[in-house]
């Protein structure tokens, strides 16, 4: 098998580009959000949402101590309940990868590092690539990069393609998630196009937002990206993952995203290999809802550990 050329890949993005009608996409997302998920199917979804979670801390005040606490939450979200699974990954800044890796040793939880001048992406490419390399060297299993929105909005698709494909290359087999920062792209047409360019450049997952700007992830955005993933798979046979992140705090929101993925991409995407939710406070709400399902009582936030 030969690697497709850049021209070929960008041509593919052009061909699949198409347009998105905003009113229609939003109406479809709103319709899907009225799905009523109950009983067993809700329990299954809540548990899946935990397994798909990238437990995230991306604050200036993050310290190794904070990351160790979070790692324990990632491995055992509900210390008293061994039935609750671990989350998929712990997502941190590069400087904290080592601490995370040590704290998670022996668990199934992956270390994901944001890299490449997160969240703006406004550094020279060689520095961004070096940041990826060092995060990998420190033990990161997954890398969350951002595209250059400035270049993309200026029409420089080639540069975006180049950045993503070089990042995938230097990540050397580590799972690369590419953040489009959809809240800065302005239209669903552009979100679709950016999704296709990132996929054509070889990213393993496309991701909505850094969580640092508003609007972050929205349901119609996830829908449009899921549709792009589906069309890309039809055209190339390659299955790309989806990560939604930013502002997802409630179990209700998480389930709405799962419904969109389920009804757009199918059951094959309902796994941490192909779907992730980046969040910091979501896990406790998922735990509360699980307890509500089991006991029938509404719970109290103080019963869930804050790390």
Partner 1 sequence: MTKWEYAPAPEATEIVSVKDTYGNYIGGEFVEPNSNEYFKTINPATEEVLSAVPVADESDVDKAVSAARKAFGTWSSMAPGDRAKFVYRIARVIQERAREMAVLETMNGGKPIKESRDIDIPLAAAHFFYYAGWADKLEYAFPGRRAEPLGVAAQVIPWNFPMLMLAWKIAPAIATGNTVVLKPAETTPLTALMFAEICEQVGLPPGVVNIINGAGATGAALVKHPDVDKVAFTGSTEVGKMIQRELAGTHKKLTLELGGKAANVIFEDAPLDQAVEGIVNGIFFNQGQVCCAGSRLLVQESVAEHLLDKLKRRLATLRLGDPLDKNTDIGAINSRAQLDKIKRLVGVGVEEGAELFQPACDIPERGFWFPPTIFTGVSQSHRIAQEEIFGPVLSVMTFRTEDEAVEKANNTPYGLSAGIWTEKGSRILWMADRLRAGVVWANTFNRFDPASPFGGFKESGFGREGGRHGLEAYVKLVAP
Catalytic residues, by residue number, are 144, 207, 243
If the CB atoms of residues 79 and 186 are measured against partner 1, the closer one turns out to be 186
Note whether 63 binds partner 1 by CB under 8 A: no
Query: What residues form DSSP beta bridges with 145?
Result: 178
Close Cβ partners of 136 (under 8 Å, ≥ 6 residues apart): 143, 170, 171, 172, 174
- Out of 11, 24, 186, 301, which residue is the one contacting partner 1 (CB under 8 A)? 24
If the CB atoms of residues 7 and 267 are measured against partner 1, the closer one turns out to be 267
Within a 10 A sphere around the Cβ of 298, how many other Cβ atoms? 9
Instruction: Considering only the C-alpha atoms of the chain, give the largest distance between any 2 of them, rounded to a whole number of Å.
Output: 58
Note whether 14 binds partner 1 by CB under 8 A: no
If the CB atoms of residues 142 and 231 are measured against partner 1, the closer one turns out to be 231
Note whether 45 binds partner 1 by CB under 8 A: yes
Note whether 237 binds partner 1 by CB under 8 A: no
Note whether 83 binds partner 1 by CB under 8 A: no
- Out of 2, 3, 5, 36, which residue is the one contacting partner 1 (CB under 8 A)? 36
Number of residues that bind partner 1 (CB under 8 A): 30
Close Cβ partners of 178 (under 8 Å, ≥ 6 residues apart): 145, 146, 147, 164, 167, 198, 201, 203, 205, 206, 207
Subset of 160-219 contacting partner 1 (CB under 8 A) = none
Residue pair 112/141 in contact (Cβ under 8 Å)? The answer is yes
> What does the block give as tokens for 91?
């997502």
If the CB atoms of residues 163 and 253 are measured against partner 1, the closer one turns out to be 253
Single out the residue of 14, 6, 1, 17 nearest to residue 191, CA to CA. Answer: 17
Note whether 5 binds partner 1 by CB under 8 A: no
Using CA atoms, how far apart are residues 281 and 38, in angstroms rounded to an integer?
A: 22
Using CA atoms, how far apart are residues 152 and 145, in angstroms rounded to an integer?
A: 15
Residue pair 39/71 in contact (Cβ under 8 Å)? The answer is no
Subset of 244-273 contacting partner 1 (CB under 8 A) = 258, 262-263, 267-268, 270-271
The minimum distance between CB 112 and partner 1, in angstroms, equals 22
If the CB atoms of residues 146 and 254 are measured against partner 1, the closer one turns out to be 254
Binding residues (CB under 8 A) for partner 1: these are 18-21, 23-25, 27-28, 34-42, 44-45, 48, 227, 234, 258, 262-263, 267-268, 270-271
């Amino acid at each position: 098998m030969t690697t497709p050329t850049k021209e070929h890949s960008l041509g593919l993005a052009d061909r699949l580009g198409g347009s998105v009608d905003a009113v229609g996409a939003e109406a479809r997302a709103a319709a899907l959000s009225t799905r009523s998920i109950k009983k067993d199917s809700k329990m299954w979804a809540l548990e899946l949402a935990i397994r798909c979670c990238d437990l995230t801390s991306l604050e200036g005040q993050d310290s190794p101590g904070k990351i160790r606490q979070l790692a324990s939450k990632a491995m055992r979200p509900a210390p008293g309940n061994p039935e609750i699974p671990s989350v998929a990954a712990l997502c941190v800044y590069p400087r904290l990868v080592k601490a995370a890796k040590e704290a998670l040793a022996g668990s199934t939880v992956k270390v994901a590092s944001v890299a490449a001048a997160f969240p703006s992406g406004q550094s020279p490419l060689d520095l961004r690539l070096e940041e990826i390399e060092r995060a990998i060297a420190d033990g990161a299993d997954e890398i969350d990069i951002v595209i250059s929105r400035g270049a993309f909005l200026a029409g420089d698709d080639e540069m975006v393609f180049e950045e993503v494909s070089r990042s995938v290359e230097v990540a050397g087999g580590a799972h690369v998630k590419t953040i489009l920062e959809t809240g800065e792209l302005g239209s669903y047409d552009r979100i679709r196009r950016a999704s296709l360019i990132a996929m054509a450049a070889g990213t393993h997952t496309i991701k909505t937002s850094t969580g640092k700007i508003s609007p972050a992830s929205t349901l119609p955005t996830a829908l449009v990206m899921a549709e792009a993933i589906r069309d890309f798979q039809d055209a190339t046979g390659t299955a790309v993952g989806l990560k939604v992140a930013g502002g997802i705090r409630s179990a209700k929101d998480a389930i709405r995203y799962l419904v969109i993925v389920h009804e757009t991409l199918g059951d094959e995407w309902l796994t941490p290999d192909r779907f992730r939710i980046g969040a910091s406070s979501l896990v406790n709400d998922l735990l509360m809802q699980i307890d509500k399902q089991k006991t029938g009582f509404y719970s109290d936030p103080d019963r869930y550990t804050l790390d």
